[in-house]
Amino acid sequence: MIRYLVGLCLLVGACASVPPPPAGAQDQAIEIKSSSLPLRIDEPDADRIGRLIWRGGIAMTANSRNFGGWSALHVSADGRSLTSVSDAGAWLTAAIDHDARGNLAGLSNARIGQLRGLTGKPISSKAEADAEALARLPDGSWLITFERHHRLWRYPTLAATPSPVEGPAEIGRQPANGGIESLAALADGRVIAISEDYGQRPGTVMGWIGQPAAGGGYLWRSFDYATIPDFRPTAIAMLPDGSFATVERAFDVVRGVRCRVMRFDAAQLKPGATVRPEELARLASPYAVDNLEGMAVTKGARGETLLWLISDDNFNPLQRNILLLFELAP
């Protein structure tokens, strides 16, 4: 009964949450306050779940109404800075602070701003501002996917005016709130995208491989991504060995938020094929978890593989903005 009531409160809070007005046209410095999280709330010394080793976690608040809703994540190769976008159309940059052991300690030197539309003005409506995925292209520009009005835009910088990029033929068939949330840009110029909710075969959602084409566009070819009941993909990133990691999320009023961290070999990623990932770890209460929608991968000082996860709080006071860091066990 207690779990049911907690879940019901979360659902009611999510329905009642209202995103803040868009950020201003000029980006601004903000102060982020971080509080340390244990991997497991009832076992403070726990440091491993599945194949993931705990490297620190923080819950974040800031002196800005626009701080929240973080739906995507990019971390620099040296693990010293991050970039994110929100489902209210804001962007965030910050320096990452580490402790003496190289674990996540906090964020500093943060700035926030509002993504611009094709006219050069800040995006002002929720229907247009719902940014859900972010990828850094080889030339340093950013590719961002949006839900509700499903589309892909390329930004030279996050403060610049974007240009539209033609998406897959099926992009407009996706549910309004179930579009492309998983996006990765590869060094060879290809782009990998996976829909959260759209699929054409039972037990799968659709993904696409974008091959660079003339004029800065892509030739899109589809594949299927196998799912299990309740869980849907929200992020993808390439691992140093060339394989891929994904995050899958589930929510219901009884069990709350649950997330799976997955992996699949690059050989599975072929047009017309079905990707069947393996589970590395499953996060659910009492482990540190919230609405995890963004993931990045870097290498640590010892050459270890590091997985970064960020959550979207839906601007709901019953949820949290959290940033988690894990090391992938050999």
Please tell me the predicted confidence (pLDDT) of residue 3: 38
Peptide bond into 175 cis (omega under 30): no
**Helix spans in the chain (H):** 2-16, 126-129
Tokens representing 84?
């994110």
Question: Quick check: helix, strand or coil at residue 184?
Answer: strand
CA distance 183 to 196: 11
User: Taking a C-beta distance cutoff of 8 angstroms, is the pair 220, 209 a contact?
Assistant: yes
CB atoms within 10 A of CB 271: 11
Please tell me the predicted confidence (pLDDT) of residue 8: 38
Please tell me the predicted confidence (pLDDT) of residue 269: 98
Contacts of 286 (CB under 8 A, 6+ apart): 40, 41, 42, 43
Closest CA to 63 of 110, 105, 98, 26: 110
State which H helix or E strand residue 166 sits in: none
Please tell me the predicted confidence (pLDDT) of residue 25: 64
Please tell me the predicted confidence (pLDDT) of residue 14: 44
- Going from the C-alpha of 223 to that of each of 15, 220, 286, 330, the distances in angstroms are 33, 10, 35, 29
Q: What tens-digit pLDDT sequence spans the chain (330 residues)?
A: 333 334 434 444 444 466 777 776 679 999 999 999 999 999 999 999 999 999 999 999 999 999 999 999 999 999 999 999 999 999 999 999 999 999 999 999 999 999 999 999 999 898 899 999 999 999 999 999 999 999 999 999 999 999 999 999 999 999 999 999 999 999 999 999 999 999 999 999 999 999 999 888 999 999 999 999 999 999 999 999 999 999 999 999 899 999 999 999 999 999 999 999 999 999 999 999 999 999 999 999 999 999 999 999 999 999 999 999 999 999
Domains of the chain are 2-328 (2.120.10)
Closest CA to 329 of 8, 13, 54: 54
β-strands 321-328, 52-62 pairing: antiparallel
CA distance 197 to 187: 27
Please tell me the predicted confidence (pLDDT) of residue 218: 98
